């Protein structure tokens, strides 16, 4: 047993562990790789090889609709009717052939060629934002840069009005809070907000989809419409997965850009190393993804009883696959607690984008945005540093998302 065990707070959702879960993750990796939490009412899998195995295991399903039903048990079904109908048509909730079908059809707008065509747009967006911000000498990185840039980029990819990005943010916040509820939150409030969000997003997207049906473009939404009209995707699936892309396409990148900048600024030796050699940019981005991922864990549901590491997992139980813990597994990453932008990332072994059939479809876009964002920040703001007069506000409301609500910086 670890010597830290007697004094270690083993409540996964305590304020201390929500801010810094890594000592507990280390203990669990070493001592309880499949750990049951009474507080969360779920299993936690923390070793790298086990997380990879879990992604492949048919006894663990991605169909997590029951989890949302559990969150609102006792409430009227009307509270989440629109939300539930929508997520059941989203690819991330499906397994096997249905998941493969929707991923293939939806992914036509995310080919390497399409994403490379988006590079000039991301460059332009970053340049315009930094030209506005540079004379100020200070900013809140989240509000002023790491939120608007990915939101504008995903709007361009889908071909929807960029000026509506503030609506995207409010919608995304409601969906994220219901998907990963904060400790002590009111289920009725979260469920009602998420359901209302789904209604509003559909009302927003349907006229755009109809316009694109008559006047198709080169955007991802037009590609999805073409697939739908060929009978390979239902109208309901099209809308549901457009909502998924709009939500997932900027929320996690916003958090990851903020996390990466914070890790660079709090490791000045690594920051200087990158400034001295921008050829390290790609490996630096991979290390940012590994060291503090914006998606610390993803959930699965036990589809059939089985035993694992001496633990009996029962049908219907919730399982957290903790990528943040797997990304610091010393059996895969030497000296894993060290932030090292020269780390060998040739095989990109971190699990921050998932694994296998459920590897994040937007990984290529996120990498391009992070590379462009970091390089232009360092180029345009050479004195970039944390603003010591204002404290960062870590966003750790739930177990599935990690970033900052506020990250004040100066230059």
DSSP 3-state of 65: helix
CB-CB contact of 35 with 67 (8 Å): no
Full DSSP string of 137-170: SEEEHIIIIITHHHHHHHHHHHT--GGGHHHHHH
Per-residue confidence (pLDDT) for residue 12, from 0 to 100:
93
> How far apart, in whole angstroms, are the C-alpha atoms of residue 244 and residue 83?
12
Is the confidence at residue 347, as pLDDT, over 80?
A: no
Is the confidence at residue 5, as pLDDT, over 80?
A: no
DSSP, res 135: G
Strands 318-322 and 42-45: parallel
Read off the pLDDT of residues 114-129 as tens digits, 9 standing for 90 and up: 888 889 999 999 999 9
Mean pLDDT of 288-315: 97
DSSP 3-state of 301: strand
For the whole model, what pTM was predicted?
0.92
Is the confidence at residue 287, as pLDDT, over 70?
A: yes
Per-residue confidence (pLDDT) for residue 1, from 0 to 100:
45
Tell me the backbone φ, ψ of residue 115, rounded to 5 degrees: -70, -35
Read off the pLDDT of residues 54-103 as tens digits, 9 standing for 90 and up: 999 999 999 887 778 777 777 888 888 999 999 999 998 888 899 999 99
CB-CB contact of 218 with 230 (8 Å): no
**Homologous superfamily (CATH) for 62-295+352-410:** Cytochrome P450 (1.10.630.10)
Q: Is the dihedral of CA 399, 400, 405, 407 positive or negative?
A: positive
**In this predicted structure, which of 64-78, 343-357, 373-387, 397-411 has the lowest mean pLDDT?**
64-78
Locate the DSSP E strands across 87-231. 138-140
Give the chain's mean pLDDT.
91
Cβ contacts of 303 within 8 Å, gap of 6 or more:
58, 59, 60, 61, 315
CB-CB contact of 8 with 23 (8 Å): yes
> How far apart, in whole angstroms, are the C-alpha atoms of residue 351 and residue 48?
8
């Amino acid at each position: 047993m670890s010597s830290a065990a007697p004094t270690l707070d083993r409540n996964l959702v305590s304020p201390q562990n929500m801010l810094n879960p890594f000592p507990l993750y280390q203990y669990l990796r070493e001592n309880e790789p499949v750990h049951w939490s009474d507080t969360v009412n779920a299993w936690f899998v923390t070793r790298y090889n086990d997380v990879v195995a879990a992604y492949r295991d048919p006894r663990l399903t991605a169909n997590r609709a029951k989890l949302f039903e559990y969150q609102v048990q006792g409430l009227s079904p009307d509270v989440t009717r629109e939300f539930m109908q929508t997520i059941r048509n989203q690819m991330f909730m499906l397994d096997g052939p249905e998941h493969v079908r929707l991923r293939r059809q939806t992914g036509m707008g995310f080919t390497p060629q399409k994403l490379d065509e988006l590079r000039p747009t991301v460059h332009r967006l970053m340049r315009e934002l930094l030209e506005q911000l540079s004379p100020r000498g200070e900013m809140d990185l989240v509000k002023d840069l790491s939120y608007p840039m990915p939101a504008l980029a995903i709007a361009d990819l889908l071909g929807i009005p960029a000026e509506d990005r503030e609506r995207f943010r409010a919608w995304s916040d409601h969906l994220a809070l219901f998907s990963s509820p904060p400790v002590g939150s009111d289920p009725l409030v979260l469920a009602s907000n998420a359901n209302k969000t789904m209604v509003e997003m559909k009302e927003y997207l349907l006229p755009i989809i109809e316009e694109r049906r008559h006047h198709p473009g080169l955007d991802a939404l037009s590609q999805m419409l073409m697939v739908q009209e060929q009978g390979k995707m239902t109208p309901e699936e099209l809308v549901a997965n457009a909502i998924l892309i709009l939500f997932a396409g900027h929320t996690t990148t916003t958090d990851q850009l903020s996390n990466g900048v914070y890790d660079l600024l709090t490791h000045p030796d690594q920051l200087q190393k990158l400034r001295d050699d921008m050829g390290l940019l790609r490996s630096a981005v991979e290390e940012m993804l590994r060291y503090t991922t914006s998606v610390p864990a993803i959930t699965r549901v036990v589809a059939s009883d089985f035993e694992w590491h001496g633990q009996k997992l029962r049908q219907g139980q919730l399982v957290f696959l903790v990528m943040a813990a797997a990304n610091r597994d010393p059996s895969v990453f030497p000296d894993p607690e060290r932030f090292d932008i020269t780390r060998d990332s040739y095989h990109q072994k971190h699990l921050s984008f998932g694994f296998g059939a459920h590897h994040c479809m937007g990984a290529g876009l996120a990498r391009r945005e992070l590379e462009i964002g970091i390089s232009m920040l360092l180029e345009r703001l050479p004195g970039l540093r944390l603003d010591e007069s204002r404290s960062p506000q870590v966003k750790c409301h739930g177990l599935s998302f990690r970033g900052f609500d506020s990250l004040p910086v100066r230059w």
